[in-house]
Amino acid sequence: MPVSDRRIRVLVAKPGLDGHDRGAKVIAAAFRDAGFEVIYTGLHQTPEMVVAAAVQEDVDVVAMSVLSGAHMTLFPRVRELLDAEGLQHVLLTGGGIIPDQDAATLAKVGVGRVFGPGTATGDAIAYIRDWHGGREEPY
């Protein structure tokens, strides 16, 4: 089956000590409504736990919600661990209160687009669909 015909599997992760998960739950529901297969990790996940779940669930996308200010640590660490597991093909994206300058730095280490507060859920859905549709690797 071509990659673009397969349901997109998304892990919605809430790493770190931040306990605010409303946004993660809203985006998880929006992804489900859009037809994605969604796995939600729950609160207080370590980067290692996020990547272990990504491996176990064979996801296409890891979407992290980071509101704690630790985005410059958490996103690069998860990317590093994904790559170490041979998951360079997995999109790492997410959202939170992330300044544009930090988003640009994160992009340089392999993090996809990050979304700030107030972003329409449709924007994140379209971004993931566009990314997934542009992939060429078979499963």
Q: Is it the case that residue 110 has pLDDT exceeding 50?
A: yes
Q: Do the Cβ atoms of 82 and 92 come closer than 8 Å? A: yes
Kindly state the percentage of the chain with pLDDT values over 70.
Answer: 94
Cβ(2)–Cβ(32) below 8 Å: no
For residue 6, what pLDDT band results from cuts at 50, 70 and 90?
confident
Could you tell me the pTM of the whole model? 0.93
Q: Is a pLDDT exceeding 60 seen at residue 4?
A: no
Share of the chain above pLDDT 90, in %: 88
Q: How far apart are CA 34 and CA 83, in angstroms?
A: 28
- In this structure, what is the dihedral angle of CA atoms 8, 37, 43, 87, given to the nearest 10 degrees? -30
Average pLDDT over residues 2-8: 69
> Which domains does the chain carry?
3-133 (3.40.50.280)
| 14 contacts 44 by C-beta, under 8 angstroms | yes
